[in-house]
Structures are given as C-alpha cells and as structure tokens.
C-alpha cells in the first residue's frame, strides 16, 4: 500500500482546525490514534510492504503520530473549558490515575508453593495461629523439658487453655500443630498442606523475625515410604527452583518424625554465592507417638511430614538477602516482584 504522507498531514491539520467540542476532539483522536486508527493501519501495512519502502513507512507513521498528538494537545487547550450539564469542567486537567497494586512477594511465594502441592493432589487447610501446648508440643512428642517450650523460645498468651487446666495458650512456633489438629479431626488417607504465620521471640536481624511463615505438609495412609517423601520433595524443588536444582537429604532429628532429615539445596548451582549448601526444610516419617497422641489405632498408619520456611524459599529464589525487607512495606522493594 502506498501512503501519501504529505496529503495525510494536510488533511489532519484541516480536520483539527474544525474541531470545536470535546466529542469532536475524541473522534479525531480515535480516527488517527485509536486501535483501528490510521497510524495503526500504517504500521500494520509494514508487514506486506516492499522492503525498500519499510523505513519510509515507519518514519511516516511516527511523524503522523507526533503531528496528531501535537494537534490534539493544542486543540484541547483551546476547548478545555466547556459546559457539561451546567458545570464548568476543565478537560485539560490531568485525570486521577489508578495506582494498581499486586500481591506481596510472600503471598506470591506461598501461592506458588501451594500450587505445586495442589497439582500433586494435596489439599490446603489453614489452622489457628493461637494454639494449645498440646498441639504445639505434647502431641508432637516434644518433651515437657524441651528448650523450645521455654518462654524465651515461644510466645505464651496471658490466657489459660480451656482444655488443659493450668496450661496457657500460645502463639504457634511452627505449623506442625496443624498436623495434630487435622489428624484429630480426620481419618487417613490424607494429603494436606498447612500454610500460615508462626511466631518466635527471636531478636530481629537479617535472617530472623519474630513472625514468619511456614508451610507444613502431611501425608498419611496405610502404606507410605520414605522414598515417596524423597520423590515428592525432589519433584517439588524442581518445579519451584527449576530443573537444574541439586538437593541433598541430610539425617537430622525432630521429635515428631523418625527417621528425620533436613533438605539442603546447592546454592552454587542456583547462582546464590554465600554458602554451598543451604537448608530449606525439615521432614521425615511421622513418629508413631504422634499417631498415638491423635488417637489413631496402633500400627495401622504410616505417613510423612515436612515443614518449610516461606521467607527462606523466597530469599533463595529471588536473591533477597534481608528478611526485614518483607515487612517494611517499602514500595521500592515490593514493586520489583
Ligand atoms: N516444625 C519444624 C520447625 O519449625 C519443621 C519440620 C521438621 C516440620 C520436620 C515437619 C517435619 O513436618 O517433619 O523447625
């Protein structure tokens, strides 16, 4: 298609002169700059244009756009005050822009982790942040003299547990009490994840906060093996961090799982310097004592569980080096994700 830009420019100028209302100005704008306008048509014609013509057509389209924008600006100043239903409206004033936000990077990370497990058949259940000592410790086989029960390591509320005389309610220090709650209410088979906030009276620094997020996983059935836990978590890490991820299962101890392991990922391969191996979660086969505590028949079920820190996963995936950034609500940080 041949374009006579000189003629088009003249025509636009003539048309602009005749504009005398905001409606006519808008019609003019649409004719040239709208989605189906002339500038778009000129650009679209580039696709079939003779290669020797392309540069000229591209320049012609850009010049036309510049010209029309200039004409509109000049015209809108002229007709900026018009009567609309008896009111003076100044059309030259800038509009009130909508600032669109988006979900917080921690919410995004939680949603991403949850999505991976839901694709693999897990169901998401949220349980309360205020817990009993039984659910947070005793039911999980954490002994009465365990240091994590100390008030230095757990926030106790000034409220007695209505289900246990003399025992105070607390802010859960991990999402594992979700396991106890869910098993007390439901019979296997089950595959659940429990996301949410947890609280510990830690001094705040680059890697500690008195509130952070965890995601707990629990799968219980009559026949469950450690190899299935390993396969599941390997697949999870591949989907979350990408297919190149290299991980290792390192023996560890948790009272509520036996045997237990911690999972590290290789930070070098993911391009995060600092240390070679970084711990991302704890896991293991559910300790039969936990099944006993929730009232399941002895020896009938097996299961595995795992728990991971959401902040840590986000820090590793997105190269964030200070946990405090998540909670400061500084838009310059949040906008990046
Ligand atoms: N609750 C543990 C913590 O906060 C994490 C954890 C370890 C959860 C092993 C589990 C598990 O379910 O099996 O450190």
Distance, CA of 65 to CA of 298 (rounded, Å): 78
Mean pLDDT computed over 259-275: 86
Task: Give the pLDDT of residue 41.
Answer: 92
DSSP code string of 87-104: EEEETTSPP---------
Give yes or no: residues 165 and 267 share one domain: yes
How are strands ordered across the β-sheet holding 130-131?
A: 130-131, 168-171, 156-160
Residue matched to tokens 């005749």: 18
Mean pLDDT of the chain: 92
Mean pLDDT computed over 206-222: 96
Task: Give the pLDDT of residue 39.
Answer: 94
Partners of residue 285 on adjacent β-strands: 304
- Within 8 A by CB and 6+ apart from 142, the residues are 136, 148, 149, 255, 256
Which residues constitute the domain of residue 283? Answer: 105-334
Task: Give the pLDDT of residue 269.
Answer: 81
**Does residue 83 surpass a pLDDT of 60?**
no
Task: Give the pLDDT of residue 337.
Answer: 93
Distance, CA of 62 to CA of 39 (rounded, Å): 8
Give yes or no: residues 221 and 330 share one domain: yes
Residue 99 lies in a domain: no
Task: Give the pLDDT of residue 40.
Answer: 93
Asked if 68 and 79 count as a contact pair (C-beta separation under 8 A), the reply is: no
Distance, CA of 19 to CA of 26 (rounded, Å): 10
Residue 63 lies in a domain: yes
Give yes or no: residues 51 and 140 share one domain: no
Model confidence band, residue 78 (pLDDT cutoffs 50, 70, 90): confident
Indicate the residue among 67, 90, 113 that finishes a domain: 90
Highest mean pLDDT among 18-32, 168-182, 264-278: 168-182
H or E, element range at 14 = helix 5-17
Give yes or no: residues 63 and 178 share one domain: no
Domain count, the chain: 2
Task: Give the pLDDT of residue 81.
Answer: 54
Task: Give the pLDDT of residue 148.
Answer: 86
Model confidence band, residue 75 (pLDDT cutoffs 50, 70, 90): confident
Residue 96 lies in a domain: no
**Does residue 122 surpass a pLDDT of 90?**
yes
Residue 100 lies in a domain: no
Top mutation candidate among 253, 282, 287, 310 for ligand 1, by most atoms within 8 Å of CB: 282
Name the percent of the chain lying above pLDDT 90.
77
Give yes or no: residues 231 and 279 share one domain: yes
> How many helices and strands (H and E) does the chain possess?
11, 12
Between residues 269 and 56, the one the model is more confident about: 56
Query: Worst-scoring range by mean pLDDT, 147-151, 171-175, 211-215?
Result: 147-151
Indicate the residue among 90, 122, 157 that finishes a domain: 90
- Within 8 A by CB and 6+ apart from 258, the residues are 284, 285, 287, 288
Model confidence band, residue 98 (pLDDT cutoffs 50, 70, 90): confident
Residue 266 lies in a domain: yes
Which tokens sit at 120? Answer: 């693999």
Q: Is the dihedral of CA 227, 228, 230, 234 positive or negative?
A: positive
Burial class (CB within 10 angstroms; exposed 0-12, middle 13-18, buried 19+) of 320: middle
Give residue 139 CA to ligand 1 midpoint distance, Å: 14
Report which ligand 1 atom has the smallest distance to the Cα of 176. Answer: 1
Task: Give the pLDDT of residue 273.
Answer: 66
Indicate the residue among 62, 90, 118 that finishes a domain: 90
Give yes or no: residues 168 and 256 share one domain: yes
Model confidence band, residue 259 (pLDDT cutoffs 50, 70, 90): very high
304 three-state secondary structure: strand
Model confidence band, residue 268 (pLDDT cutoffs 50, 70, 90): confident
Residue 95 lies in a domain: no
Asked if 236 and 318 count as a contact pair (C-beta separation under 8 A), the reply is: no
Top mutation candidate among 262, 304, 306, 310 for ligand 1, by most atoms within 8 Å of CB: 306
Give yes or no: residues 57 and 160 share one domain: no
Name the percent of the chain lying above pLDDT 70.
96
Residue 58 lies in a domain: yes
Our answer on whether the CB atom of 254 is closer than 6 Å to any ligand 1 atom is yes
Residue 97 lies in a domain: no
Top mutation candidate among 175, 256, 259 for ligand 1, by most atoms within 8 Å of CB: 256
Task: Give the pLDDT of residue 92.
Answer: 85
Task: Give the pLDDT of residue 82.
Answer: 52
**At residue 223, what are phi and psi to the nearest 5 degrees?**
-125, 110
Q: What's the CATH number where 201 sits? A: 3.30.930.10
Give yes or no: residues 143 and 27 share one domain: no
Model confidence band, residue 275 (pLDDT cutoffs 50, 70, 90): confident
- Within 8 A by CB and 6+ apart from 230, the residues are 249
Give yes or no: residues 137 and 285 share one domain: yes
Task: Give the pLDDT of residue 86.
Answer: 62
Give yes or no: residues 69 and 213 share one domain: no
Task: Give the pLDDT of residue 76.
Answer: 82
What's the first-to-final CA gap in the chain, in angstroms? 44
Give yes or no: residues 240 and 121 share one domain: yes
DSSP code string of 174-212: SSTHHHHHHHHH-PSSEEEEEEEEEE--PPPBTTB-SEE
Give yes or no: residues 245 and 156 share one domain: yes
Which tokens sit at 239? Answer: 């989907």
């Amino acid at each position: 298609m041949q374009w006579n830009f000189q003629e088009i420019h003249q025509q636009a100028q003539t048309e602009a002169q005749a504009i005398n209302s905001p409606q006519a100005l808008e019609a003019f704008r649409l004719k040239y700059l709208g989605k189906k306008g002339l500038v778009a048509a000129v650009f679209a014609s580039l696709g079939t244009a003779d290669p020797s013509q392309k540069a000229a057509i591209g320049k012609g389209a850009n010049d036309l756009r510049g010209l029309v924008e200039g004409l509109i600006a000049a015209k809108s100043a002229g007709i900026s005050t018009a009567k609309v239903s008896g009111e003076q409206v100044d059309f030259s004033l800038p509009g009130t822009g909508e600032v669109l936000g988006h979900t917080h990077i921690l919410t995004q990370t939680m949603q991403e982790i949850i999505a991976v497990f839901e694709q693999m058949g897990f169901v998401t259940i949220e349980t309360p942040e205020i817990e009993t000592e039984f659910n947070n410790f005793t039911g999980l086989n954490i002994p009465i003299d365990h240091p994590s029960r100390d008030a230095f390591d757990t926030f106790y509320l000034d409220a007695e547990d209505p289900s246990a005389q003399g025992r105070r309610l607390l802010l859960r220090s991990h999402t594992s009490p979700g396991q106890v709650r869910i098993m007390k209410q439901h019979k296997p088979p089950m595959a659940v994840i429990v996301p949410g906030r947890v609280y510990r009276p830690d001094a705040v620094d680059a890697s500690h906060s008195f509130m952070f997020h965890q995601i707990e996983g629990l799968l219980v059935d009559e026949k469950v093996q450690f190899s299935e836990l390993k396969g599941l978590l390997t697949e999870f890490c591949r989907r979350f961090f990408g297919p190149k991820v290299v991980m290792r299962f390192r023996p560890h101890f948790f009272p509520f799982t036996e045997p237990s392991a911690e999972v590290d990922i290789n930070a070098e391969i993911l391009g995060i310097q600092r240390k070679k191996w970084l711990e991302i979660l704890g896991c293991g086969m559910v300790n039969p004592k936990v099944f006993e505590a929730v009232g399941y028949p002895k020896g009938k079920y097996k299961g595995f569980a795992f728990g991971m820190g959401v902040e840590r996963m986000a820090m590793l995936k997105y190269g964030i080096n200070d946990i405090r950034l998540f909670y400061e609500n500084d838009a310059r940080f949040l906008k990046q994700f």
